[in-house]
Amino acid sequence: MAAVRFPFATIPPNTGAADRTLRGDTHRWAHDKGQSLVLERPALCLGKNSRCGRPRTWGTMDAMGVETKLEIRAISPHVGAEVVGLDLSEPLGDEVVARVRAALGRHLVLFFMDQDLSPDQQAAFARQFGEVTPAHPVIPSLEGHPEVLPIDGREDRASWWHTDVTFLSTPPLGSILHMREAPDVGGDTMWVSLQAAYDALAEPVRAMCDKLIAWHHDPWFAADVDANGGYEWDGRHHQKLYPASHPVVRTHPETHRNGLFVNSQFTRHLEGMSTVESEAILDMLYRHCQRPEFSCRFRWKVGAVAFWDNRATLHYALDDYGDDLRVAHRVTLRGDRPYGPARPGA
């Protein structure tokens, strides 16, 4: 596909205007002629209201003066996009990191194909976006790599909707999964946008959820913590795993969008409600969040990487691959304490 270049001067300086420009006449002209659009200087094509389904391409220059092309291909209206043109085993540079971070805020889960990463390279990629946590507060790490969690379908299969580690007061910002062995068929993962789910609630239900606090806990992990003598998280040793409370509606610290923040795996009850009231409301929210319209589904191949925003998504690993081998490595990024309308924060 040929590339057509437009100078940076044609793109207004604010993000919203840039988004409108690239979705306007210039972008349509390039698309209609079968050409990709390359900007000669950095520009952002990620307005929060964008619904442009066409691939978007940027050109940046690395320190050696070689152009790096970065293309974002949305795979569903609400969640999920493939990122093309990056080698995650190499440093990305500040400009590319900023674009990937912006794409993550817009699409919530990003997919990178054909990545050959060692565990150390995977952790190094993650460190460009924040502080890498221990592999898991309870489950042992990959031997020799304390930041990497091995996920082996022969030992465990997370075939339920969940957000990672919400039983802690500071759940991870995001998770990065690298597929090492994949079934020929099956073993897909689905994600849903909790922001789209929140937006689709009826106004009276949104208003109710805005006032609610939920308690999250995993009693089985708590028993493991007792048996192991504690766990490490946020740079500290914790002797016990206590329940953690989070607002039912979480405000994203970067995009400022609200989204639901409950999951059937770790959310236990709503504060100030009876068991009957709490279970009825939570069950309604779980079923609402799992609507296919809020989702995307990804078919894994060896070398694929998924990078998802743990502050605004649920995910589900399908258990439909029998005895086939499915092995992945995961690293997670340190997150902040969730806040929202019911618990204002920064």
Q: Is 178 a catalytic residue?
A: no
CB contact at 8 A, 107 and 98: no
Q: Is 31 a catalytic residue?
A: no
CB contact at 8 A, 73 and 84: yes
Q: Which residues make beta-bridge pairs with 84? A: 71
Alpha-carbon separation of residue 125 from 137, 191, 205, 310, 336 (angstroms): 21, 22, 40, 17, 20
Q: Which of these is catalytic: 78, 136, 250, 330? A: 330
**Chain-centroid distance, C-alpha 227:** 31
Q: Which of these is catalytic: 162, 180, 297, 343? A: 162
CB contact at 8 A, 115 and 90: no
Q: Is 288 a catalytic residue?
A: no
Q: Which of these is catalytic: 27, 106, 136, 164? A: 164
Q: Which of these is catalytic: 178, 315, 326, 329? A: 315
Q: Is 269 a catalytic residue?
A: no
Alpha-carbon separation of residue 117 from 70, 136, 154, 275 (angstroms): 19, 20, 22, 47
Among the residues of the chain, which ranges form H helices?
Answer: 15-22, 25-32, 94-107, 119-127, 194-199, 203-209, 219-228, 275-289
Q: Could you list the active site residues?
A: 162, 164, 315, 330
